[in-house]
Amino acid sequence: MKDFKIFKFIVMIVGISLFPNYAKAYQMATTSSNLSEKERSIITIASLTAKGDLVKLKSELNKGLEAGLTVNEIKEVLVHTYAYCGFPRSIRGLQTFMEVLNERKTKGIIDKPGKEASPIKEDGNKYLRGKTILEQLTKTPQSNTLTGYSAFAPIIDTFLKEHLFAAIFERDVLTFTQREWVTISVISAIGEAEPMLKSHLSICLNVAISPEQLKEFIGVIQPIIGRKKTKTAKEVVNEVLESK
């Protein structure tokens, strides 16, 4: 009996001495994320929209609002996706978001609308405005001579410059950084677009997204897009980071 009491005393002392370390380690593990909750929500919402998984999207839209994203920010995320996965996915995402907002309203939840997009100054050539934004994103001067697919189908270069990089990227509801999170999430989800993914991952590094955040991004998208596409995205991330 005496030996048993001594044993209990030793266990208690060891437990008391170790518990703070365990607690500290756990706290560090749960607070060491390189991505904010808003960024995680943007990545998840964009990936699920591209995949067309509206059931899970509905849940993540709720989480996004709870994480602090405004109604207009989420709308803009869903609108931005159409440039990379088409109108059908984008519109279904918006319709799902409408359902979420209506359900929350019936529960008495009033979500912050957030700011509207500032008026875009149309006082310059739209193609050149888009070209300038692309140069800001890539930190590379854009040649006046078209090459590759742009030379093969010049109209696509016009659409990219005037619409994607001018009309969409000029809208200030989201930052360039947030738009790149949407972009790489959608491209990773649709798959078979590695050259474009590589280009936008390079842009990510230019708009203050860190290598650590890109590595964590892979972990966020894996449960959504599956192992095969995640493996491909991870390989492209590693290639971009190694080249830097």
Asked if 51 and 93 touch (Cβ cutoff 8 Å), the reply is: no
Q: Is 230 part of a structural domain of the chain?
A: yes
pLDDT score of 110 more than 90: yes
Q: What is the pLDDT of residue 244?
A: 84
What is the pLDDT averaged over residues 199-226?
98
How many degrees, rounded to 5, is the angle at CA 187 between CA 153 and CA 121? 65
Asked if 183 and 200 touch (Cβ cutoff 8 Å), the reply is: yes
Q: What is the pLDDT of residue 55?
A: 98
pLDDT digits (tens, 9 = 90+) for 126-166: 999 999 999 999 999 999 999 999 999 999 999 999 999 99
Could you say which DSSP state residue 153 is in?
S
Range of the domain at 234: 37-117+171-243
Q: Is 164 part of a structural domain of the chain?
A: no
Token pair of 192 as six digits: 């078979």
CATH number, position 197: 1.20.1290.10
Q: What is the pLDDT of residue 32?
A: 54
Q: Is 129 part of a structural domain of the chain?
A: no
Q: Is 160 part of a structural domain of the chain?
A: no
Asked if 174 and 73 touch (Cβ cutoff 8 Å), the reply is: yes
Q: Is 21 part of a structural domain of the chain?
A: no
Q: Is 53 part of a structural domain of the chain?
A: yes
How many domains does one find in the chain?
A: 1
